[in-house]
Structure 1
């Protein structure tokens, strides 16, 4: 993810998480820690290719997903994963998680943590397929609504079963994931 991705990411964020949308400033702050030798963050977006322009040059495509991870010492923490509603069930969430776990491995994390809403069973199934295990709850974590978070842990991100990077997304071979 780069600075020019923030506005389209915010549009997805507002659609998917209307009650606890991240702000533009939060994304800027995260991206400020995602570059250079002291980087502690990795943020990626999944973008559909744009049709070629009149001169044959491809422009930027539509962002259909994003994810972010922070690394602190030997622990990684998945901060966010989001997939556009019209791409749910396409495998894109698995591809984004794969990229974040690769980043955790590159950061030399020995474990990765995350929280997800207790009522988001679809996300829980995804995380379990990768080997995440429930370890506890954070009561009233998601506001408003006072919804609990399920805390999950992956003991060894390097040995997770990642999705194939060649997996088509919703039948579209050209979907790219980039940071």
Structure 2
């Protein structure tokens, strides 16, 4: 796994962040379809009871930071139930620089804190880079959802057991 930049900061996502996330969402998930502003706000309204959303920021100046990634987890907080990664995204210019690892590590810690027994996710079957990343984290393919994504692309369901 790539080493994260030392100045990467992870913090809870706020409603005011959504506007900055939408262009990234449209770019990365075009055709899947991407999440809308309303979907992000709906998810944030469920924090912290069953949702947990975060952003990763890097310093652009001594006083300003820029969002370079975001992620979300659905975790009902019932011991022994699975958590679900709802989204994880890193801006193209910051991919393969450790930001995804910072986000994934935070999601796993939160799933542990909520006493989940595993973490589930869906990924496009043609997204080799994401599949390799999840496999490095111990996720295993458990099912295929035919035509789950836009354009009739299949989705892989992956799960990571938590100790």
Task: State the alpha-carbon separation in 2 of the partners of residues 142 and 27 from structure 1.
Answer: 19
Deviations 1:151-176 (Å, cap 9, x if unpaired)?
A: 101111xx5xxxxxxxxxxxxxxxxx
Q: Which among 67, 71, 76 is matched to residue 75 of structure 2?
A: 71
The unaligned stretches of length 5 or more in structure 1 are 53-57, 160-179
Q: Secondary structure at the match of 1:141?
A: coil
Instruction: Determine whether 1:8 maps to 2:12.
Output: no
TM-score (ref. length: structure 2)? 0.86
Instruction: Determine whether 1:40 maps to 2:50.
Output: yes
Aligned to 2:99: 92
Aligned to 1:109: 116
Instruction: Determine whether 1:31 maps to 2:44.
Output: yes
**What is the CA distance between 1:29 and its match in structure 2?**
0.7
Task: State the alpha-carbon separation in 2 of the partners of residues 99 and 113 from structure 1.
Answer: 15
Structure of larger gyration radius: 1
TM-score (ref. length: structure 1)? 0.79
The unaligned stretches of length 5 or more in structure 2 are 1-12
Deviations 1:28-71 (Å, cap 9, x if unpaired)?
A: 11111113xxx11111101112314xxxxx24x22110000101
Aligned to 1:151: 157
Task: State the alpha-carbon separation in 1 of the partners of residues 35 and 58 from structure 2.
Answer: 23
Q: Which runs of 4+ in 1 moved over 2 A?
A: none
Number of residue-to-residue matches in the alignment:
147
Task: State the alpha-carbon separation in 1 of the partners of residues 61 and 159 from structure 2.
Answer: 40
Q: Secondary structure at the match of 1:140?
A: coil
**What is the CA distance between 1:123 and its match in structure 2?**
0.7
